[in-house]
């Protein structure tokens, strides 16, 4: 499996009147061909900002990027952080494509669907108008839109939400990109439609052998489609590993909290949902120690007040399953077992 994307120690900060917002604070991850890597976290954890960084869609001047984002483009790699605006633009839609959360507002209301699709092709293949339209109809057909040659003449408002997300996917795949960034692709959709879109994405992934970077807050979606997961909190990755590791042997207290707060239909009658107490941290004034410490129920098990004073590193006994926590891994394993039983029940 060839590596398509390598993010190394990415920092993204936005200067504001109130201070520097550290939206992404040292994120590293990789994405391989045919693989789905999920970034999970609550609102404001930095997952969308990370996705937009890969697309180079942050405004120059408004965002301060450091670190590197290597995108494989043919034989060579391009570092999005240091590349020129024009280099990044030529990658967008061709090598890296993105679909967004809200298909209702992500399509231009004044242009026909066919035109909007062809445009993405024409940008990278100038002058080939006929090919572009043909390709647009093909792609609409591929994403499951009936009578694609007629629907191409319709406007976005003539499509339902699920159909629009299919159109968005078709648009993203116009140039057969190697990397697809899917930012909450199912959040705005009905549950029944969500499943259809996920199945569609999975089948298209096989067909195009794409790497998908899936950004979501929905653990159910992650469990269904992802191979590897990075859990983000306060702009940092707090746990990284395979789906099985993260779901069955969570190592970070935050991940455990997330798993416990998923509502489930239980045979044992109704139990109260276990929300994580407290609020996510302000990205302007992150705690000096572990960002999760103020909300963490396990911080007492760490040595002294280390949780409040020092930042935990992303570590693990196995390199493919890493987590940030000051509590000894053995202690965590022991403590989490009982909690996990509850979750499984």
Partner 1 sequence: MLNFVSRRVFLAVITLLVVSAVVFAIFSLLPFDPAALSCGQKCTDTIIAGNRIKLGFDRPLYMQYALFLSGIFFGRTYGSGAAGFTCPAPSFGYSYNENACVSDLLRQAIPVTISLALGALIIWLITGVSLGIIAARFKNKWPDRVSSIFVLLGTSLPTFVTGLALLIWVTIKWKLVPLSLIGYTPLWEDPIKFFQFFILPWITLAIAYAALYTRFTRAAVLETLGEDYIRTARAKGVKERTVLFKHTMRAVFAPIITLAGLDFAGLIGGAIITETIFNLPGLGRLTLRSTFEFDLPVVLATTLLAAAVVIIMNLVIDMLYAVLDPRVRI
Residue 173 to residue 180: CA distance in whole angstroms: 8
Helix (H) or strand (E) segment spanning residue 105: helix 103-106
Segment lying near partner 1 (by CB under 8 A), choices 115-123, 131-139, 317-325, 330-338? 115-123
Which residue lies nearer to partner 1 by CB, 156 or 241?
Answer: 156
Which residue lies nearer to partner 1 by CB, 55 or 63?
Answer: 55
- 33 sits near partner 1 (criterion: CB under 8 A): no
Please report where in the chains the tokens 């699709």 appear, as a residue: 117
Q: Which of 41, 44, 93, 148 binds partner 1 (CB under 8 A)?
A: 93
Residue 80 to residue 189: CA distance in whole angstroms: 31
Which residue lies nearer to partner 1 by CB, 66 or 158?
Answer: 158
Which residue lies nearer to partner 1 by CB, 157 or 318?
Answer: 157
3-state secondary structure of 21: strand
The strand order across the sheet containing 228-233 reads: 96-99, 179-183, 211-216, 36-40, 228-233, 236-242, 321-324, 314-318
Segment lying near partner 1 (by CB under 8 A), choices 101-109, 141-149, 236-244, 288-296? 101-109
The per-residue b/e assignment along 25-58, b for 16 or more CB within 10 angstroms, e otherwise, is bbbbbebbbebbbbbbbeebbbbbbbbbbbbbeb
Encoded one letter per residue, x for contact with partner 1 by CB under 8 A and - for no contact, window 57-86 reads: x---------------------------x-
Encoded one letter per residue, x for contact with partner 1 by CB under 8 A and - for no contact, window 117-136 reads: --xx--xx------------
Task: Read off φ and ψ for residue 165, nearest 5 degrees.
Answer: -65, -35
Which residue lies nearer to partner 1 by CB, 55 or 293?
Answer: 55
Q: Which residues bind partner 1 (CB under 8 A)?
A: 55, 57, 85, 89-94, 97-98, 100, 102, 105-111, 119-120, 123-124, 155, 157, 168, 171-172, 174
């Amino acid at each position: 499996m060839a590596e398509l994307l390598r993010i190394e120690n990415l920092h993204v900060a936005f200067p504001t009147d109130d201070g520097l917002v550290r939206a992404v604070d040292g994120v590293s991850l990789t994405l391989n061909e045919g693989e789905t890597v999920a970034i999970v976290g609550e609102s404001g954890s930095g997952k969308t900002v990370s996705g937009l960084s890969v697309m180079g869609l942050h405004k120059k001047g408004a965002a301060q990027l450091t670190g590197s984002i290597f995108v494989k483009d043919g034989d060579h790699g391009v570092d999005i952080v240091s590349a020129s605006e024009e280099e990044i633009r030529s990658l967008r839609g061709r090598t890296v494509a993105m679909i967004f959360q809200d298909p209702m507002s992500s399509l231009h209301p004044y242009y026909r669907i066919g035109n909007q699709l062809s445009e993405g092709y024409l940008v990278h293949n100038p002058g080939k108008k006929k090919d572009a339209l043909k390709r647009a109809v093909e792609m609409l057909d591929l994403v499951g839109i009936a009578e694609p040659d007629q629907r191409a003449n319709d406007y976005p408002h003539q499509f339902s939400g699920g159909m629009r997300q299919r159109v968005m996917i078709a648009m993203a795949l116009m140039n057969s990109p190697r990397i697809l960034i899917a930012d909450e692709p199912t959040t705005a959709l009905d549950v029944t439609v969500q499943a259809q879109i996920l199945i569609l994405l999975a089948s298209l992934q096989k067909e195009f052998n794409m790497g998908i970077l899936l950004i979501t807050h929905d653990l159910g979606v992650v469990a269904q489609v992802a191979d590897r997961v990075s859990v983000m909190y306060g702009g940092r990755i707090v746990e990284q590993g395979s789906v099985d590791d993260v779901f069955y042997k969570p190592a970070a207290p935050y991940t455990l909290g997330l798993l416990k707060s998923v509502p489930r239909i239980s045979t044992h009658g109704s139990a109260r949902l276990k929300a994580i107490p407290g609020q996510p941290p302000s990205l302007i004034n992150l705690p000096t120690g572990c960002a999760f410490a103020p909300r963490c129920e396990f911080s007492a098990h760490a040595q002294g007040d280390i949780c409040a004073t020092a930042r935990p590193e992303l570590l693990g006994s196995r390199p493919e399953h890493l987590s940030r926590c000051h509590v000894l891994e053995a202690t965590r394993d022991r403590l989490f077992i009982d909690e996990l039983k509850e979750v499984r029940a």
